[in-house]
Chains A and B, each alone.
Chain A
Amino acid sequence: MEDALFIHRLHFAFTITFHYLFPQLTMGLAPLIVVLKTIAIRKNDERFNEAARFWTKIFGIDFVLGVVTGIPMEFQFGTNWAQFSKLTGGVIGQPLVMEGVFSFFLESAFLGLFLFGEKRLSKWGHWWAAFMVFVGSWMSGYFIIVTDAWMQHPVAFTRGADGSFQVNSFIGVLTNPWALLQYAHNMSGAVITGSFVMAAVGAFYLLNRRHEEHGRIFLRVGVIAGLIFSILQVFPTGDLHGRYMAKHQPATTAAMEALWKTQAGAPMVIIGQPDVENQRIDNPLVVNNLLSFLIYGTTAGEVRGLNEFPRENWPTNIPLLYFSYHIMVGLGTLFIAVMSVSAFLLWRRKLYESRWLLWIVMLCLPFPYIANTAGWMTAEIGRQPWLVYNLMRTSEGFSRNVSAGNGIFTLLGFMGLYTLLAILFLFLVYREIDHGPGSAIAALGRTASKLTGSEV
């Protein structure tokens, strides 16, 4: 049975991690596309329309991948986590069906109009379609966060005689404070992915000396949005979320920081490898008092260490949790640094010529994906050993009727299928980037002018 539990956890972890690579970009790009379209209409500038059209194509490919990898997620609650679904369906069935009824229908209806309806609709009509796709994708995110937040911080329920959870306030579930904090932090993370990708493609064009006009637009929008949301990611969203977590999941906070002993003026480890057996950190680099200060706003605050909690309630993989958290925080800091310097040079009108910085911006492309993944790993590994925090253990939730062998079979199937999808995605997106924004005729014109050396 231990084996089956491990396989079911790996099954969910693999499929959800791969899935979330796509929605974070769609949710991040959607508001940026709305911004591009707004500027295009307000300034009556066709270049912004071309920029919006280019990102709409990337959005379309990304959206398809998000949909096809998302459908298995909704089924997996039932297939691999039947005990959990049976007992908690009375609560989390609500946000999950709400996602279908309120956001999926909306998205599917307006996506077609958004992707293919530009000629059929007026310019404001098409702006509206883009806006509705933005609203739909962000609503969808909210319902998923509500579901996860309920598992992290269960509210608004009663227990039945059979141990089942039943909702006793719809509004209570939807306004779970944990959900509001997590949503703000998560959506800001998605916009960071969107803006870094946009800025990176802009940098790529400028470094390549192709599509330079559009490249500058991408950089400008990407850097401004990237700076705003990199800061929001830490303060206030990350800060508030961290404090709320320290209050309600103290064992998780202690494990994230690898803090063994309860202490006032607790230090924060910047680098170092936790050694759980010997309760120490190897090769540490610490800042004294910082952890107490971050949680309580005073260096005298007392932070509870892991030793205060029974060992069976410790998160099951402390080193992985510790590293996920530190990678997230480290990259978050890097984002602010890169975007601050870029924004400063943009303001001084030197960004487009600063090739060293363009290289850095371009090479930062994978980091928001890693940071978002690490953030989610922090949340979910940190919740262990609970499925519903403090109430239902992960070991009680999986489908007892599905053996490890069947689990491995479908896990391998998903791994093979998703490898194919990943290759397809990279191939198609690279083709779009290579083709570049602007109409095909304009592109031909540019090629012609390059060949003949004349202006067209």
Chain B
Amino acid sequence: METVWFILVALMLTGYVVLDGFDLGAGIIHLLVAKTNDERRLVIRAIGPVWDGNEVWLLAAGGTLFFAFPPVYASSFSGFYLPLNIVLWLLVLRAIGIEMRAHMDNQVWCDFFDGLFAIGSILLTIFFGAALGNVVRGVPLSKDGVSFAPLWTDFRVGPQPGVLDWYTILSGVVAFVALALHGAHYVALKTEGDLNARTRNLAKMLWPILAALTLLSLFATMYVRPGVMDNYRNHPVSLLVPILVVGSLGLIFTSLKRGDDFKAFLGSSTYLATMLVGAAFALYPTLLPSSSNPSLDLTIHNSAAGQYALQGGITWWTAGMAVAIGYFVLVYWLFRGKVSIETGEHGY
């Protein structure tokens, strides 16, 4: 039962990264590809009706972690106190950037909120990548499962690392590039003309960087956490994951060549999903590893909630999520197709 909830938490996070990932990515490339006020409005319109729902996946993932593994939630959220609070501030500023921009027809006003949206998106992706890096690398857990990570120490990966060291910064950069590419595919998919062309060109520039960084981060991870390959060695079928990562990169490459925005978007979605599933698989059954002593790891065995909660939770949780996915299909279907500047009903 603990394993089922481990998978569900991982799936929720994956859903979050794939979905909110493209609107974060849209924010990263926003100022770069959209030159005129109309083009910037188009980028916002492309994500306008869906970004809020995408972000709910983060809340639901956090809630699911809280429900199924309370000590992990408590330990990681208080341990990452400073970076998490910064993430919260960025989430607030970014949301304001998206939602408040259209309230005034005034260049300075629009530029200010475009800036908030872009800066918020850029820093958030780096922080999220670094957060994942921390979970893979491990944190300084004490005996009672408590930690407190300073923002940085000496940027080295030791038993007392900071939240930011060379490895987690590398993870942050990987996330930044991957989501920028993912966002570019989405914006290309939803727009036409110059904006579409500029976005595709940017994606073509980002692709080789992402491919190189992916390889680099794989070696870095094996260096930082040698045990990371154990699960793969014991279950050879799991080698499907790296094959899928390479395959998705290939799909992005060929789709970019042929100008197929949808397949490119599918490719980057698969890339993100398989990277995360791969990381989760490597960690299992650990949820939050200790950087100093593996016996202090928080695992699904020493931090799960009671059996009654976990077993009963499956029923209502699954039912609730099935309905939620139904809403998503409805909303994406209603707002399908390219966005245009004419229709006045949008509000963005």
Residues B290-307 near A (CB distance < 8 A): 305-306
Chain B positions within 8 Å of A115 at CB level: 347
| A413 and B89 contact, Cβ closer than 8 Å, known pairs A89-B70, A111-B52 | yes
Q: How far apart are B73's CB and chain A's nearest CB, in angstroms?
A: 5
Closest Cβ–Cβ distance, residue A14 to chain B (whole Å): 13
Asked if B81 contacts A402 (CB within 8 A), the reply is: yes
CB of B66 to closest CB in A, whole Å: 4
Give the CA-CA distance A102 to B89 in the complex, in Å. Answer: 25
Contact A94 B309, beta carbon cutoff 8 Å: yes
Decide if A100 is an interface residue (CB 8 Å cutoff): yes
A239 at the interface (CB under 8 A from B): no
- The yes or no answer to B243 lying at the interface (CB within 8 A) is no
- Indicate if B38 sits at the interface (CB-CB under 8 A): no
- The answer to whether A166 touches B306 (Cβ under 8 A) is yes
Q: Which of B211-219, B263-271, B311-319 contacts A (4 or more CB under 8 A)?
A: B311-319
B-contact bits for A50-93, CB 8 A (1 contact / 0 none): 00000000001100100111011011011110110111111001
A68, A99, A431, most chain B CB atoms within 10 A: A68
User: Closest CB-CB distance, A56 to chain B, in whole Å?
Assistant: 10
A111 cross-chain contacts in B, Cβ below 8 A: 52
Given contacts A101-B321, A413-B85, 7 further A-B contacts (CB under 8 A): A64-B99, A71-B88, A71-B91, A79-B78, A90-B306, A93-B305, A97-B60
Bound Cα distance A401, B78 (Å): 7
A164 at the binding interface (Cβ < 8 Å): yes
Judged by a CB distance under 8 angstroms, whether A260 is at the interface is no
Chain B 302-336 interface mask (CB, 8 Å, partner A; 1/0): 00011011001100110011011001101100110
Nearest CB on B from A257, distance (A): 37
* Residues of the A chain whose Cβ atoms lie less than 8 Å from the Cβ of B48: 112, 116
Q: Known A79-B85, A86-B70; judge A105-B305 contact (CB<8 A).
A: no
A106 to chain B, nearest CB (A): 6
Q: Nearest CB to that of A94 among chain B residues?
A: B67
- Docked Cα-Cα span, A116 to B145, in Å, equals 47
The number of residues on chain A lying at the interface, defined by a beta carbon within 8 Å of a beta carbon of chain B, is: 67
Are B77 and A78 in contact (CB-based, < 8 A)? yes
State whether the Cβ of A96 lies closer than 8 Å to any Cβ in chain B. Answer: yes
The 10 nearest A-B residue pairs measured at CB: A89-B70, A78-B77, A93-B67, A166-B306, A97-B63, A109-B327, A82-B78, A101-B320, A105-B324, A108-B53
Interface of chain A residues 151 through 201 with chain B (CB within 8 A): 158, 160, 164, 166-168, 170
29 pairs from A and B in contact (CB 8 Å cutoff): A60-B347, A64-B99, A74-B59, A77-B66, A78-B66, A85-B66, A87-B70, A89-B69, A93-B63, A93-B73, A93-B305, A94-B67, A96-B67, A97-B64, A97-B66, A100-B56, A100-B62, A104-B59, A108-B52, A109-B331, A116-B48, A116-B345, A118-B345, A119-B343, A164-B70, A401-B78, A406-B82, A410-B82, A424-B96
Asked whether B305 lies within 8 Å of A166 as measured between CB atoms, the reply is yes
| Chain B contact residue count (CB 8 A cutoff) | 67
Residues in chain B within 8 A of chain A (CB atoms): 48-50, 52-53, 55-56, 59-60, 62-64, 66-71, 73-79, 81-82, 84-85, 88-89, 91-93, 95-96, 99-100, 103-104, 145-148, 305-306, 308-309, 312-313, 316-317, 320-321, 323-324, 327-328, 330-331, 334-335, 343, 345-348
- The B contact surface, by secondary structure, is helix
Please tell me if A433 contacts chain B, counting CB pairs below 8 Å.
no
Write the nearest CB–CB distance from A126 to chain B, whole angstroms: 11
**Interface status of A113 (Cβ within 8 A of chain B):** yes
* A104 touching B56, Cβ below 8 Å: yes
| Interface pair A113/B334, CB less than 8 Å apart | yes
Residue of B nearest to A413 (CB): B89
Question: Which residues of chain A come closer than 8 Å to B74, judged between CB atoms?
Answer: 78, 82-83, 85-86, 89, 399
Residues of B within 8 A of A85 (CB): 66, 70, 73-74, 77
Closest B residue to A57 by beta carbon equals B347
B residues less than 8 Å from A102 (CB atoms): 320, 323
Contact at B78–A78, with CB atoms within 8 Å?
yes
Choice from B49, B50, B62 contacting A75 with Cβ under 8 Å: B62
Instruction: Find chain A residues with CB under 8 A from B95 CB.
Output: 64, 67-68
Interface string of A222-247 (1 = CB under 8 A from B): 00000000000000000000000000
Contact B78 A80 (CB under 8 A): yes
The verdict on A401 contacting B148 (CB below 8 Å), with A78-B78, A94-B309, A113-B334 known, is: yes
Bound: A86/B79 CA distance, A: 13
Contact A74 B92 (CB under 8 A): no
Tell me the bound Cα distance from A408 to B346 in angstroms: 41
In angstroms, Cα B345 to Cα A118, docked, is 8
With a 10 A CB-CB cut-off, give which of A89, A399, A424 has the most chain B CB atoms: A89
If over half of A's interface residues share one DSSP class (helix, strand or loop), that class is named, otherwise mixed; here it is helix
Contact A97 B67 (CB under 8 A): yes
Contacts known (A82-B75, A109-B328, A109-B331); A96 close to B96, Cβ less than 8 A: no
Query: Cβ of B348: which chain A residues have Cβ within 8 Å of it?
Result: 116
Complex: chain A residue closest to B309, CB-CB = A167
Our pick among A64, A67, A96, A413 for the contact of B66 (Cβ within 8 Å) is A96
Q: Are A89 and B67 in contact (CB under 8 A)?
A: yes
Any B CB within 8 A of the CB of A270: no
Chain A residues 194 to 230 lying within 8 A of chain B, measured CB to CB, are none
Contact indicator B309/A90 (Cβ below 8 Å): yes
Complex-state Cα separation, A165 to B337, whole angstroms: 49
Complex alpha-carbon distance, A86 and B9, angstroms = 17
User: In the complex, what's the smallest C-beta–C-beta distance from A226 to chain B, in angstroms?
Assistant: 29
A150 to B111, CA, bound (A): 46
Question: In the complex, which residues of chain A have a beta carbon less than 8 angstroms from the beta carbon of B63?
Answer: 74, 93, 96-97, 99-101
A96 CA / B103 CA spacing, docked (Å): 32
Bound complex: CA of A68 vs CA of B226, how far in Å? 40
In the complex formed, the residue of B with least CB distance to A97 is: B63
Contacts of A60 in B (CB 8 A): 347
Shortest Cβ gap from B77 to chain A (Å): 3
A401 nearest in chain B by CB position: B148
Q: Which of chain A's residues have a CB closer than 8 A to the CB of B49? A: 112-113, 116
Q: Does A348 make an interface contact (CB < 8 A)? A: no
Check A417 for interface membership: any CB of B closer than 8 A: yes
A261-280 near B? 1/0 per residue, CB < 8 Å: 00000000000000000000
Give, as a whole number of angstroms, the nearest-CB distance from A363 to chain B: 27
> B100 to A428, Cβ gap below 8 A?
yes
Tell me the nearest residue of chain B to A431, going by C-beta. B103
Q: Does A421 sit at the interface, judged by CB under 8 A? A: yes
Do A401 and B147 form a contact, CB below 8 Å, given A64-B95, A69-B92, A100-B60? yes
Residues in chain B near residue A410, CB distance under 8 A = 81-82, 85
Residues of chain B within 8 A of A424, CB atoms compared: 96, 100
Q: Mark A386-410, 1 if CB is under 8 A from B, else 0.
A: 0000000000000111100010011
Decide if A120 is an interface residue (CB 8 Å cutoff): yes
